[in-house]
Structure 1
Amino acid sequence: MREPSSSHGPLAGKVALVAGATRGAGRAMAVELCRAGATVYATGRTTREKVSEVGRASETIEGTAELATEVGKEAGGSGHAVAVDHLDPGQVRELMARIEREQGALDILVNDLWGGDHLVGFDKKLWEHDLADGLRVLRLGIDSHLITSACALPLLTRRPGGLLIEVTDGTEEFNQRYRQPVYYDLAKYAPLRMARALAEETKEHGTTVVCLTPGWLRSEAMLDTHFKVTEENWRDGCAKDPHFAISETPAFVGRAVAALAADPDVSRWNGQSLSSGGLAKVYGFTDVDGSAPDAWRYLIEVEHAGKPADVSGYR
């Protein structure tokens, strides 16, 4: 059972589960919650002994937990790596039993489960897309979220004040447009509906449920696979796509999660679609370079409007 913390982080004494914390946004969310003092369980499929189908062996849940613990030690935060396949209800139930046994409560659940980019044929129509890959995308992007919430909500709703964050790609406004292919479109719109539905279903328990999206995320894969750059020289990627100038680090959305979790009035967002850029305007946090990119507004007003790349006024 957790003991009262003498540390002064705003989330000291809080228990969080970041489901899908191996890399990218999930890793940053776990780190920033720890930085604010939370005890964070970081789950995923890639460990130092076993690599998931994503195939990125250098990014592990142990690495996430160690980094989170290092940055969180002054605020009382700690990271705990647990290997979990969130498509296996048995494994998720075991995880929840462990959290209840070790901590006695769960205050924050972040559903950042994905890992399907390598299966998506972004230029293919439904009948052209590999069917097995497409159905796997739906399993990874929808079923995993439903299974995790179904298993976690009994503990999260046990007392008022719980927070569930569904993570997707795109705001509700942006995702009104088609996100080809159909499997990706469904996988990324579903968390928006899940947040709205679960906000209604948990209302009587005093739980807040929201859907959150990063902007154009400079994840590890985006940097080294798509743009062939590093975080240090990421602006070189603008030669390939000038609109990449609006991109953000994973820390930006991690800070959005920490800000939501520390907000005593977080229930004002219940059921809503939120973005890292939009929340930065409310809570005042920035990306690591001191900017606050508002990617989704930019993508609608500049890129999709056919205007030349210019991030002035957007970051």
Structure 2
Amino acid sequence: MPNLSDTVAVVTGASRGVGRGIALSLGDAGATVYVTGRSVADDTTENLPGTVTETAELVADRGGEGIAVRCDHTVDADVEALFARVDDEQGRVDLLVNNVWGGYEGFDETFDDPFWTQSMDRWSGMFDAGVRAHYAASRLAARRMVDRGEGLVVNVSSGDGDKYRGSVMYDVAKTAVDRMAKAMAHELRDRGVAAVSLYPGFVRTERVVRAFEETGEEVPEETHSPEYVGRAVTALAADPDMMGKSGQVLVTGDLAREYGFTDTDGTQPPPFELDTEPI
């Protein structure tokens, strides 16, 4: 595990799932991690387990410093207050992981229904609580990183090359997340700050496990833990040649082979492949 004891990280949407896995892996590396989300103490969302309070405590248990911050990333004042607090307490931010995503809320078996039958309410989940939230946090983090001439922004995205992601809204939103990282990297390249998009695989999040439990099916063997994604982020943050990857779409399974890390069970799941056609 790399040593990131001098790293100050902000991981958005880290109450559970991939965000929690990333925060825990950074904790393993000794980082200071600001864990953000709306679920705090006993107040959770969507009846799913996990809060930023719990995640921060687990980060500390792993050897890092976990700091829970209740933040609704659709509210600009909340995001500004988050970074002001990081300024006051740390004086810098080295790593931003844009993981917050409201696009799954309210979805059930209708996720892949034809776009003309989908509710417009879901658009705001994908774009306000997803794409815009990534942009809002990135612009505030980038200001601080540019001043110091170093830093890394990771947009957690999803996909498999040019293959269709199963929903028009989802496909467009995740494509926007990828393009945002590429465009940010273009403007940041001469400032010493890197930006990338990262694809997890098929992750055993609380939401995924619940979905399979409700259908009575076993969780597929090809799934991997959220910490597998976290180990990818940790490896990137520790890479002295990270600028060489800036602007790229990176895949967790590929990074595992490049950097030599494994999942928590010692396996090294390959890159995830969607069962759809390129578009």
TM-score range, shorter chain: over 0.9
Partner of 1:70: 61
Distance 2:112 2:99 in 1: 25
The structural deviation recorded for 1:103 is 0.3
Where does the alignment leave 5 or more consecutive residues of structure 2 unmatched?
A: none
SS across alignment from 1:22: coil
Instruction: Between 273-282 and 186-195, report the one with greater CA deviation.
Output: 186-195
Partner of 1:38: 31
SS across alignment from 2:112: coil
Partner of 1:111: 98
Q: Is the 8 A contact 2:104 2:125 kept in 1?
A: no
Distance 1:280 1:159 in 2: 29
Where does the alignment leave 5 or more consecutive residues of structure 1 unmatched?
A: 1-7, 230-235, 239-243, 306-315
Counterparts in 2 of 1:220 and 1:136: CA distance versus 1, 3 Å: closer
Distance 2:128 2:74 in 1: 7
Partner of 1:28: 21
The structural deviation recorded for 1:153 is 1.4
Distance 1:33 1:123 in 2: 34
Structure 1 letter corresponding to 2:196:
V
Distance 1:183 1:9 in 2: 37
Which structure 2 residues correspond to residues 206-285 of structure 1 after superposition, within 5 A? 206-223=192-209, 225-228=210-213, 237=218, 244-285=220-261
Distance 2:20 2:125 in 1: 23
Q: Is the 8 A contact 2:102 2:125 kept in 1?
A: no
The structural deviation recorded for 1:126 is 2.3
Partner of 1:82: 69
Partner of 2:52: 61
Distance 2:244 2:78 in 1: 33
The answer as to 2:268 corresponding to 1:292 is yes
**Per-residue CA shift, 1:32-73, capped at 9, x if unaligned?**
111111111000011124333x332x310000000000011x
Q: Is the 8 A contact 2:159 2:165 kept in 1?
A: no
The structural deviation recorded for 1:141 is 1.9
TM score, norm. by length of structure 1 = 0.82
Distance 1:156 1:27 in 2: 23
The structural deviation recorded for 1:160 is 2.3
Distance 2:211 2:200 in 1: 18
**Per-residue CA shift, 1:267-314, capped at 9, x if unaligned?**
111100111101001100001111111132xx25xx559xxxxxxxxx
The structural deviation recorded for 1:113 is 1.0
Q: What is the aligned-residue identity percentage?
A: 40
Distance 1:110 1:118 in 2: 20
- Computed over aligned residues only, the root mean square deviation of the Cα atoms, in angstroms, reads 2.0
User: Would you identify which runs of 4 or more consecutive aligned residues in structure 1 move more than 6 Å?
Assistant: none
Q: Is the 8 A contact 1:216 1:295 kept in 2?
A: no
Partner of 2:124: 135
Larger gyration radius, structure 1 or structure 2:
1
Partner of 1:48: 41
Distance 2:4 2:25 in 1: 10
Count of equivalent residues? 274
SS across alignment from 1:274: strand
SS across alignment from 2:105: helix
Distance 1:38 1:304 in 2: 38
Instruction: Between 37-46 and 154-163, report the one with greater CA deviation.
Output: 154-163
**Per-residue CA shift, 1:238-267, capped at 9, x if unaligned?**
6xxxxx322111110111011111111111
Distance 2:159 2:59 in 1: 26
**Per-residue CA shift, 1:214-255, capped at 9, x if unaligned?**
1000111111x22119xxxxxx726xxxxx322111110111
SS across alignment from 2:57: helix
SS across alignment from 1:110: strand
Structure 1 letter corresponding to 2:157:
T
Instruction: Between 151-160 and 100-109, report the one with greater CA deviation.
Output: 151-160
